[in-house]
Amino acid sequence: MELQFNSEFWWGAATSGPQSEGRFHKKHANQYDYWYETKPEEFYNYVGPDTASNFYNSFKEDIALMKEVGLNSVRTSIQWSRLIDDLEEGTVNEDGVRFYNEVIDEFLKNNIRPIVNLCHFDIPIELYQKYGGWESKYVVDLYVKFAAQCFRFFGDRVVDWITFNEPIVIVSGGYLSQSHFPKLKDGKKAVQVAYNLQLASAKCIELFRKTNKNPNGRIGIILNLTPSYPATNNEEDQKAAQFADLWANRLFLDASIKGEFPEELLQILKKDNVLWKTTYEELKIIKENTIDYLGVNYYHPHRVQKPAVSSNSLAIEWTPELYYNDYDMPGRRMNMDRNWEIYPQAIYDIAKNIKENYGNIPWFVSENGMGVSREERFLDEKGVIQDDYRIQYISEHLYWLKKGIEKGSNCFGYHMWTPIDCWSWSNAYKNRYGFISNNISTQIKTIKKSGYWFKEVAESGMIRMPDEWKSFEKLENKKTI
Ligand code: BG6
């Protein structure tokens, strides 16, 4: 079986500043630099962001490798902590401007479209220490000053801007599950941070619309969508799945595309006395400044069942899990290294949802990928990682994406996480996702089998599905890689 995509399709990959550049010549630490400085034991194998994949020093060679694996578009992010000198005034750092200028030019020289994101979880640590980071609306305004400098210095060449990557992860990782800085457990703060992030995105879009001079320029947001599937058809499980969808997906989807938060969610947050502080003027900005296009990060679905605790229990601190519980569906297909379910069919459901409920806005898969640990297990005698599992993973997701496109969904591209194995927050270098491997002791980078394969896919716009994989046409769900 062959899947043919159109000739304009984006074949790319995504990374971020904090995860690839290394700390070289940065005036400010971001919160992860600081977290590593103070608690290195919380990072896998004690590996921090100091070198990452050395992109600051080796971006020319790295971009040449990206070209070699056929990427026609690449997302990275500008680090606020690198570009800005005086955080209150928003003045720029000369070396920061030079560096990002050269990176953008190098992408363009290689015919790679740079997709530029303004925040991939990172914020200068001083802004957290002084103002509580995203808990503060003053920080929202400082972020807009930083965005203004990005548009001013790079807007002549960058066409595709992104305001945030995965804002819900800043909320849930930082304020609920304690997997990201500041590692708090505070439902009320989580809710306010969610609102402030949406406000920051809308204010940034407002500024972009006022200042952008590039006729093709556009701005979007990247959301990690986790379609919620109820454990059973019972009413309680279905209600739980609806809430999980409201909280994890619709909060930012509705606000970013429709300019309004979902009413059902507002009612619940109000009833529970945790609703964010807002003003009429802010809601107007959110309403009037919706995105031009959407990036969807998809890794795994969310299997949901009724909550374990009752939402009437006043003794319990507010958490979205008052309304649902995760469900470990028996027999589901897992990537055991990352402990994430593999369920490619969800991409079709996402495509359908965007088409039917979000005005068929133009969108692309901005991250998808398979994190595998100890990939040296798969080295062949020539030193190439034989990552057939990744090739199959990508192909299966593209199979379902293609089905969504055939039904009319307005998807224009696919980006894998990530071009070159990069550092990943507290998981550091545990799981590798790249088309290109990185030996973190020597920084020697080597193309994996999937990289050579992707080059052919990108050049031909076509995927060949071997007959033995036919099973995924039947929505089969038990196979393990
Ligand atoms: C994505 C993030 O959700 O997951 C990336 O945007 C991250 O920043 C990636 O690196 C993989 O995460 P992990 O924890 O599996 O290394």
pLDDT in tens, the chain (481 residues): 899 999 999 999 999 999 999 999 999 999 999 999 999 999 999 999 999 999 999 999 999 999 999 999 999 999 999 999 999 999 999 999 999 999 999 999 999 999 999 999 999 999 999 999 999 999 999 999 999 999 999 999 999 999 999 999 999 999 999 999 999 999 999 999 999 999 999 999 999 999 999 999 999 999 999 999 999 999 999 999 999 999 999 999 999 999 999 999 999 999 999 999 999 999 999 999 999 999 999 999 999 999 987 656 556 789 999 999 999 999 999 999 999 999 999 999 999 999 999 999 999 999 999 999 999 999 999 999 999 999 999 999 999 999 999 999 999 999 999 999 999 999 999 999 999 999 999 999 999 999 999 999 999 999 998 877 755 554 444 333 3
Q: How far is ligand 1, taken at its centre, from the CA of residue 235, in Å?
A: 33
For residue 363, which of 95, 115, 39 has the smallest C-alpha distance?
115
- Report, as residue numbers or ranges, the catalytic residues: 166, 367
Q: How far is ligand 1, taken at its centre, from the CA of residue 214, in Å?
A: 31
Residue nearest to atom 10 of ligand 1 (CA): 424
Mind spelling out the 3-state secondary structure of 215-233?
A: CCCEEEEEEECCCEEECCC
pLDDT at 470: 57
**Cβ(221)–Cβ(256) below 8 Å:** yes
pLDDT at 467: 77
Which residue among 32, 75, 417, 418 has the greatest number of ligand 1 atoms within 8 angstroms of its CB, and so is best to mutate?
417
164's CB contacts (< 8 A; 6+ apart) are: 117, 118, 119, 170, 197, 200, 201, 221, 222
Helix (H, G, I), strand (E, B) or coil at 209: helix
Count CB-CB contacts under 10 A for residue 307.
Answer: 18
Q: How far is ligand 1, taken at its centre, from the CA of residue 296, in Å?
A: 13
Q: How far is ligand 1, taken at its centre, from the CA of residue 423, in Å?
A: 9
Residue range(s) defining the domain that contains residue 451:
2-477
Look up residue 431 and give its amino acid. N
Q: How far is ligand 1, taken at its centre, from the CA of residue 272, in Å?
A: 31
DSSP assignment string, 6-58:
-TT-EEEEE--HHHHS-STT-SS-BHHHHHHHH-GGGSGGG--TTTTT-HHHH
CATH of the domain at 314: 3.20.20.80
Residue nearest to atom 7 of ligand 1 (CA): 424
Q: Which atom of ligand 1 is nearest to the CA of 340?
A: 15
Residue nearest to atom 12 of ligand 1 (CA): 424
Q: What is the pLDDT of residues 277-289, one digit of tens each?
A: 999 999 999 999 9
CA distances (Å), 267 to each of 36, 228, 304, 438, in order?
A: 39, 20, 21, 48
pLDDT at 188: 97
Q: How far is ligand 1, taken at its centre, from the CA of residue 425, in Å?
A: 8
Q: How many domains does the chain have?
A: 1
**Ligand 1: which residues within 6 Å by Cβ?**
16, 19, 165-166, 224, 297, 338, 367, 371, 417, 424, 427, 431
Which residue among 180, 221, 429, 433 has the greatest number of ligand 1 atoms within 8 angstroms of its CB, and so is best to mutate?
433
Residue nearest to atom 16 of ligand 1 (CA): 424
**Cβ(214)–Cβ(159) below 8 Å:** yes
Which residue among 19, 119, 367, 422 has the greatest number of ligand 1 atoms within 8 angstroms of its CB, and so is best to mutate?
367
pLDDT at 468: 75
Q: Which atom of ligand 1 is nearest to the CA of 121?
A: 8
**Greatest Cα-to-Cα distance within the chain, rounded to the nearest angstrom:** 65
Count CB-CB contacts under 10 A for residue 86.
Answer: 11
pLDDT at 481: 32
